[in-house]
């Protein structure tokens, strides 16, 4: 929905929608044999009440003619329970490709740190995701989606921070940006592009290099394979055999057997169906590797503790490799165990991101971003990984994106706009990566300077350090969070000293 307003929209519109504080331990009932409930303990950080609000945001920050002073409503969440008003820092989460509640409910470390450092917490939703839709239900149409860019999103955050600091009487409060995955990229970019607004950034599992087109396009699926290899070498062999058997049956025209043993809802009947099945299955491995936490989680799906290990146990429990593969991917696609079959076209959508866009409107938005600025030309090759050979080259990306969106991807734009691998001019950014995360190979894995710090978390999956403390956490993530807390405290202290000096020198309003 586009509304008319002044540039920028400086008022927020609070809703009467609050998230009640969650208890430390929440029991989720699962059904055991005989129908007896078996409580499954899911640990969560005690969360203060989040308040959901909307900010009247500028529609187009960079063109004064196309939309004039038009605005849209951007959603954000706040938690001021721990804040020392006017003094404590502001911890600002740069929302990524999804509903902001999902990230707020799975980033408990930020709240734990806010309690330690008396911070105000803000989670801002990314334009075109969740309910922050500039053109309402028409936002994903070709004629409406052009304002979905990294640059517009960063400008949204810069304007929002500036206006909320005025609203909260927090002019002198240092801001630290936080984010995970694409959100981690955005937090780093905020520090790089708006160092006058953001004093530092924690960029967790942020693949700044690989999405800029830097590195080996085969690295991602090689890393997914390595996760399963480290769990069980026999598992990887069984997976490779299963895919080979499917391919052999396809070449012999045995579609009925493929359909039966892989439990597809509709009969696999052509090469297109077979490769859809291959990508559908490969996506399950990707998700299990990313979400390989040592405890149950409902983030990005419904996962058991250690899903990679559970998946390997599934395939190795079957004599028939194909049936074992069907059981393995069910850890992701059939977490309840109640689905009678796999709808391979409905449950997995081919898009410009070979690691998966998901489904629904948010998936459409991400598909567009991967067709414009975000470079995800990743391939599996059946040599360095366990998957069928499925290339996704720049030429294939160009063709797909023009057919779908009538756009030509800017392959090297992120290297130009956000510096590529030459980040030495930046400062005050933590780059954290877990060694189990397949995205880690595309991120910053060594210190670039005294204030550009890389942290590797042994036994850590996708931005594990942003999640709340859990009894099952490996010691490495506890150590990482403690180090991050010390560094951030130092940044906040330095920013306060610098601000005091500016005011005493009369060079700051």
The whole-angstrom separation of Cα 9 and Cα 76 is: 14
Q: Show which residues are catalytic.
A: 181, 437, 462
Chain segment 324-362, per-residue pLDDT in tens: 999 999 999 999 999 999 999 999 999 999 999 999 999
Helix axes 307-316, 233-251, angle to 10 degrees: 60
pLDDT in the model for residue 26:
28
Backbone phi, then psi, for 446, in 5-degree steps? -145, 155
Number of neighbouring beta carbons within 10 Å of residue 360: 10
SS3 of residue 154 by DSSP: helix
**CB distance 202 to 178 below 8 Å:** yes
Give the pairing type, strands 120-124 and 90-94: parallel
Residue 370 CB coordination number (10 Å): 24
Q: pTM (2 decimals)?
A: 0.90
Residues 254-268 have pLDDT tens digits of: 999 999 999 999 999
Q: What is the pLDDT of residue 501?
A: 73
Q: Greatest CA separation found in the chain?
A: 81
Over residues 95-128, the pLDDT tens digits come to 999 999 999 999 999 999 999 999 999 999 999 9
3-state helix/strand/coil string of 266-335: CCCCCHHHHHHHHHHHHHHHHHHHHCCCCCCECCCCCECCCHHHHHHHHHHCCCCHHHHHHHHHHHHHCC
Q: Compute φ and ψ for 470, nearest 5 degrees.
A: -140, 140
Q: Two tokens at 274?
A: 């077979």
| Separation CA 123–CA 76 (nearest Å) | 6
Q: Which helix (H) or strand (E) holds 496?
A: helix 475-505
Structure tokens at 10: 């400086």
State the residue for tokens 């509304």: 3
DSSP-assigned letters across all residues of 211-276: GGT-S-TTHHHHHHHHHHHHH-HHHHHHHHHHHHHHHHHHHTT-HHHHHHHTTBSS---SHHHHHH
Q: Which two tokens stand for residue 11?
A: 């008022």
Whole-angstrom CA distances from 205 to 217, 369, 415, 440 are: 18, 19, 18, 6
Q: What's CA 113's distance to the chain center, in Å?
A: 21
Going from the first residue of the chain to its last (509 residues), give the mean pLDDT of each consecutive group of 10, the final group possibly shorter: 39 39 30 31 55 97 88 97 95 97 96 97 98 97 97 98 97 97 98 98 98 96 98 98 98 97 97 98 98 96 97 97 98 95 97 95 97 98 98 98 97 94 96 98 97 98 97 97 98 87 70
- Measured on CA atoms in the order 39, 44, 49, 51, is the torsion positive or negative? negative
* Radius of gyration for the chain, computed over Cα atoms and rounded to the nearest angstrom: 23
**Residues paired with 39 in a beta bridge:** 29
The confidence score (pLDDT) of residue 438 equals: 98
Tokens of 67: 């939309």
Q: Which residues are within 8 A (CB) of 500 and not within 5 positions of it... i.e. 6 or more apart?
A: none
* H or E element in which residue 151 lies: helix 150-167
Give the pLDDT of residue 46.
Answer: 53
Question: What integer pLDDT is reported at residue 20 of this predicted model?
Answer: 33
The answer to whether 188 touches 429, Cβ cutoff 8 Å, is: yes
The bridge status of strand 2-4 relative to strand 70-79 is antiparallel
Take residue 359 and report the two structure tokens written for it: 């489904």
Query: Collapsing DSSP states into helix, strand and coil, what is residue 73?
Result: strand
Pairing mode, strands 90-94 and 175-180: parallel
Task: Provide the token pair at 473.
Answer: 């956490």
Q: What are phi and psi of 180, to 5 degrees?
A: -125, 140
Closest CA to 178 of 99, 119, 118, 116: 119
């Amino acid at each position: 929905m586009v509304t008319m307003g002044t540039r920028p929209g400086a008022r927020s519109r609070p809703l009467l929608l609050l998230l009640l504080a969650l208890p430390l331990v929440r029991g989720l009932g699962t059904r055991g044999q005989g129908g007896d409930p078996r409580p499954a303990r899911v640990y969560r950080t005690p969360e203060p009440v989040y308040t959901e609000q909307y900010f009247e945001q500028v529609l187009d920050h960079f063109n004064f003619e196309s939309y004039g002073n038009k605005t849209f409503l951007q959603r954000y969440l706040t938690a001021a329970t721990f804040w020392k008003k006017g003094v404590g820092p502001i911890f600002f989460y740069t929302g990524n490709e999804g509903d902001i509640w999902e990230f707020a409910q799975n980033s408990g470390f930020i709240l734990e740190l806010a309690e330690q450092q008396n911070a105000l917490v803000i989670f801002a939703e990314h334009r075109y995701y969740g309910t922050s839709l500039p053109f309402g239900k028409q936002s994903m149409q070709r004629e409406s989606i052009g304002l979905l860019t990294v640059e517009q999103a960063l400008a949204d955050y810069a304007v929002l921070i500036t206006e909320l600091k005025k609203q909260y009487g927090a002019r002198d409060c240092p801001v630290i940006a936080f984010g995970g995955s694409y959100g981690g990229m955005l937090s780093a970019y905020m520090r790089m592009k708006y160092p006058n607004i953001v004093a530092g950034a924690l960029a967790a599992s942020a693949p700044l290099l690989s999405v800029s087109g830097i590195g080996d396009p085969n690295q991602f699926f090689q890393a997914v394979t390595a996760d399963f290899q480290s769990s069980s070498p026999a598992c990887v062999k069984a997976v490779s055999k299963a895919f080979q058997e499917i391919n052999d049956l396809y070449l012999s025209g045995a579609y009925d057997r493929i359909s039966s043993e892989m439990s597809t809802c509709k009969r696999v009947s052509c090469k297109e169906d077979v490769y859809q099945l291959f990508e559908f299955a490969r996506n399950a491995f990707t998700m299990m590797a990313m979400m390989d936490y040592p405890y149950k989680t409902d983030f990005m799906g419904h996962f058991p503790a250690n899903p990679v290990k559970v998946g390997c146990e599934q395939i190795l429990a079957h004599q028939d490799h194909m049936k074992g593969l069907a059981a393995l991917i069910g850890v992701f696609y059939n977490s309840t165990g109640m689905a009678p079959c796999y709808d391979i076209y409905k449950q997995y959508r081919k898009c410009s991101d070979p690691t998966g866009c998901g489904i629904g409107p948010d998936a459409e938005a991400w598909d567009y971003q991967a067709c414009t600025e975000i470079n995800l030309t990743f391939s599996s090759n059946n040599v360095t990984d366990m998957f069928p050979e499925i290339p996704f080259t720049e030429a294939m990306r160009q063709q797909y994106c023009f057919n779908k969106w009538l756009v030509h991807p800017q392959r090297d734009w992120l290297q130009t706009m956000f510096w590529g691998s030459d980040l030495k001019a930046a400062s005050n950014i933590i780059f954290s990566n877990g060694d189990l995360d397949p995205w880690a190979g595309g991120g910053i894995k060594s210190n670039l300077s005294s204030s550009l710090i890389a942290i590797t978390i042994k036994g850590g999956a996708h931005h594990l350090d942003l999640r709340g403390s859990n009894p099952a956490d490996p010691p490495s993530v506890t150590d990482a969070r403690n180090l991050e807390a010390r560094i951030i405290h130092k940044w906040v202290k330095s920013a306060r000293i610098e601000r005091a000096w500016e005011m005493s020198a009369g060079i700051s309003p």
